[in-house]
Structure 1
Amino acid sequence: METQSNKSEKRNKIIYWIFTLWLALGMISTAAVQLLKNKDEVENFTSLGYPAYLMTIIGVWKILGVIAVLIPKYPLLKEWAYAGFFFVMSGAIISHLASDHNSSKIFASLLLLVLTLISYYFRPADRKVGFGNNNVL
């Protein structure tokens, strides 16, 4: 017989994986667009006042962040990856708002920020940094 706690744990794990895979897909696809220097993306990026070469740096970081979030163990590395996703996406939202861009330009960043927060909130205990966790890096 499945207890209420087990049902809740199972539900949370399903939520975690759905949102984490969606987050990973979003980060990989935006990283690819940035690394391939898509014309529209370069125009969008430089219109915010950032140099085009920053797209390469952010694209590589996104791919490394996705790897860190998806691989087992290494909870401290996951914390850094989630923090990086949070800073990049919130920075993108703020940059678009400061540049008076329309809401359609903000939506993708806002969606990825929400996915980051949901994935982070529902991550299983073995993916969290804890005092009893010997495998922190």
Structure 2
Amino acid sequence: MKATKIIYWVTTTLFFLFEGVMPAIYGNSPLAKEGFAHLGYPDYFRVLLTIFKVTGALVLILPFFKGRIKEWAYAGFTFNLVSAAVSHGVVDGLSNGQTFFPIFVLLILAISYFTYHKIFGVPSK
């Protein structure tokens, strides 16, 4: 059980850094604006996504959030990461590393999710 908790906290912290801290710091940078424009998304979507990412990452990292809200955060990030991989794949092609990075982050999220359920005894369906 101790190893499972360590894996949970390492993956959740990594995910928090990728999807919570980085968007909070760099979500308004010229590079982020250029990236969203390159994918064909409007600028307001970048702002909205940054707010949702930071909020969702806080829900995942803070231990007093439990139950349905945490499940919704995991689901929202799953939709976001799959959509990001598809967007990059369609616009940039499969040879671009940015296409596969969201899948890598999704794997980290999946490990966090399954270890969360293993620790807290919430049956995964």
Structure 2 vs 1, CA of residues 10 and 114 (structure 1 numbering), >3 Å: closer, same or farther?
A: same
What are the Cα deviations for residues 97-124 of structure 1, in whole angstroms up to 9, with x where unaligned?
1113442222432222111111101112
What are the Cα deviations for residues 28-57 of structure 1, in whole angstroms up to 9, with x where unaligned?
2332222x2x11221111111110110111
Q: Is the 8 A contact 1:69 1:78 kept in 2?
A: yes
Q: Of the candidates 12, 32, 40, which is equivalent to residue 4 of structure 2?
A: 12
The reply on whether 1:62 has 2:62 as its aligned counterpart is no
Counterparts of 1:66 and 1:29 in 2: how far apart (Å)?
8
**Post-superposition offset of 1:66:** 1.2
Structure 2 vs 1, CA of residues 49 and 125 (structure 1 numbering), >3 Å: closer, same or farther?
A: same
Corresponding residue number in structure 2 for 1:5: none
Corresponding residue number in structure 2 for 1:25: 17
Structure 2 spans left out of the alignment, 5+ residues: none
Counterparts of 1:122 and 1:109 in 2: how far apart (Å)?
20
Corresponding residue number in structure 1 for 2:72: 80
> Which has more helix, going by share of residues?
2
Percent identical residues:
30
Counterparts of 2:21 and 2:37 in 1: how far apart (Å)?
19
What are the Cα deviations for residues 43-87 of structure 1, in whole angstroms up to 9, with x where unaligned?
111111110110111111111111111222421110000011111
**Post-superposition offset of 1:27:** 0.9
Structure 1 spans left out of the alignment, 5+ residues: 1-8, 131-137
Aligned partner of residue 4 in structure 2, secondary structure:
helix
Corresponding residue number in structure 2 for 1:121: 114
Counterparts of 2:49 and 2:33 in 1: how far apart (Å)?
13
**What RMSD in Å do the two structures reach over aligned CA positions?**
1.8
Normalising by the residue count of structure 2, what TM-score does the alignment of the two structures yield? 0.85
